[in-house]
Each structure stands twice: as C-alpha cells, then as structure tokens.
Amino acid sequence: MFLADGKAIISFSKRATHHIEVSGPWSSLLGAIAMLLFAAMFSSIVLDHFDRRPNEHHYSRFAKWVARLALAALVLACLVGWQFEHIQWVKR
C-alpha cells in the first residue's frame, strides 16, 4: 500500500498489474474504524489468554460483537466507496 496523488493504492504483489485505488474520505474513514475495531478484537483475545480469572465468556462475547461491528464497517466502507466511485479497480 502506498500513497500517490492523494489516493491510497493497494497492490497485491510487487509485480502486480492490477491495483485498487481508494480516494474517498468516507470510505477511508470507515475502513480505518474497521481496522481499529479489529485491533480491539485481537487485543481482547490476547488479554483473555493472559488473564487468569475465569471470565473467558466476557472476552468471547466482546470479541464477537466487535468483530461484527468491524465487519459491518468494512462492508459499509466498500459499499460507500463503490457507490461514490472512490474505490476503483485499476490496471496499470
């Protein structure tokens, strides 16, 4: 992933000829929110591993709900990006 002309360009390999360009503020914001929520989910899994108290069900429930919210934000970011043509599949 790199930035060029105010757009985030996601490449799938070093020699890829197809890229995804993200230029919209709303899709970028929703994608960032989704990444933060996924980070919170993974943090709760790590904390559950090191927590010695018998409360795994709390961590599990939190991780499940946060994963659902993050997935919803990610899908919404993709839909908003495609709708307003902020996300484009580009062949270079």
E strand or H helix at 49: helix 25-50
**Over the stretch 39-85, which tens digit does the pLDDT of each residue have?**
999 999 999 889 888 888 999 999 999 999 999 988 888 788 777 77
Given this model, what pLDDT does residue 65 score? 97
The pTM score is 0.70
Q: How far apart are CA 50 and CA 45, in angstroms?
A: 9
Structure tokens at 15: 């020699």
- Give the count of beta carbons closer than 10 Å to the beta carbon of residue 43: 14
